[in-house]
Structure 1
């Protein structure tokens, strides 16, 4: 889709006004201003108008309380996926925003909006993700400090970003991270000599899992939730 068409379709601007805004440098695509009205925009591109994200109308945004044993995938020939938990007419066109392991439970976001998805998961934004973590052993003070300072994961050359740790009980903590490395939480605890026995995501940015949602339950995001994460 042309940039001027995208802007006029996702804002109050007419096509002519959109072109003027583009020429004035008020539209940014993936960072820098774009002054070419005919520039093609893909669904994963981040488009900002005066710093505010633009989203095409008619998109769907959902949260689901992912149960254990389901895949964070759109389809699988052998195992159940999170889309199998939704009515077919609602599942059409949705994709997962930030996957969870098969045995991990909790907040999972789904959308048809590729731009919003990219914004949420972009490493540049460092969107915080909070997990309730069950541990094999109580977390020592030394381990807590290591997690808060960043740890070296096996097979990687850079430490993790500093995490926030809050103790809930002897073998249960809240861990907030700002990255999305492969199996990151489990590998972080392994790096400090512990083992994760249960993992549940509670929030992504300011979107918290609705406490009224049972395992496998879902609901549409509010406009405030959509705007808060992408803002």
Structure 2
């Protein structure tokens, strides 16, 4: 992490304030004065401000309500990203743990903790993801059963894992899957001869999207939510 980022995140400063402290000689790295703001710090290097040791920030864990037309990447030249919805002091700290398609809305988790992110996304942990699925046509009982048993996606030779399916109305489902194949939900419904018109992720594991969050808003996860992964 760059020195100015480190100071901004650890000491609650803006990057401008951090650079001003560095330029005034108030910051030392391993006892050496007047470091450069873009110095890349090693995890074990001691940083002080006015002689006081600055401790590195703890890990960040956030939930975000992703709107449509926002992409789950750290940068994209043609579209807003989930990081663009965060204040500047958070953008450099976190990454999306998993993805949603650009036209899919709902729960996205972001973190600075690589191990936590791996647990969340690893196929070995089979973390369930629940979606509200609006279909173009009514979903038959036979299609519901097929989704529960696993369907063969176009271009693949292995069926999906069994899904949990609940019908909300004749063309709207709650669908919980434990895999992360490319466009999986849309392809599962296509395998049943249907088309997804709207897709919204409501839950990942035990973490449910906070109903108080409007599209584009975020909040920190609670300790219980973090420990549930």
Give the TM-score, by structure 2 length.
Answer: 0.75
The question of 1:77 aligning with 2:77 is answered: yes
Look at both structures and tell me which one has the larger radius of gyration over its CA atoms.
2
Question: What secondary structure sits across from 2:109 in the alignment?
Answer: strand
Tell me, yes or no, if structure 1 residue 218 matches structure 2 residue 212: no
Distance 1:205 1:57 in 2: 26
State the match for 2:59 in structure 1: 59
- Cα distance in 2 for partners of 1:85, 1:127 equals 25
Q: CA deviation at 1:93?
A: 2.4
RMSD: 1.1
Cα deviation, residue 179, structure 1: 0.4
Q: Residue by residue, what CA displacement relative to the aligned partner does 1:133-164 show, whole Å, maximum 9, x if unpaired? A: 00000100110010000000011111000001
Deviations 1:70-101 (A, max 9, x none): 01011112211111111010111211111000
* Residue 139 of structure 2: aligned partner: 139
Partner of 2:207: 207
Partners of 2:140 and 2:206 in 1: CA distance: 29
Moved more, 56-65 or 183-192: 56-65
Q: Does the alignment pair 1:183 with 2:212?
A: no
Which residue of the partner structure matches residue 102 of structure 1?
102
Q: 1:121, CA displacement in angstroms?
A: 0.7
TM-score (norm. length: structure 1): 0.74
Whole-angstrom CA distance in 2 between matches of 1:201 and 1:95: 18
* 1:118 aligned counterpart, secondary structure: helix
Unaligned runs of 5+ in 2: 1-55
Quote the Cα distance in structure 2 between the aligned partners of 1:151 and 1:145: 10
Aligned pairs, number? 174
Deviation above 4 Å: which 4+ runs of structure 1?
none
Residues of 2 paired with 1:143 and 1:131: CA distance? 17
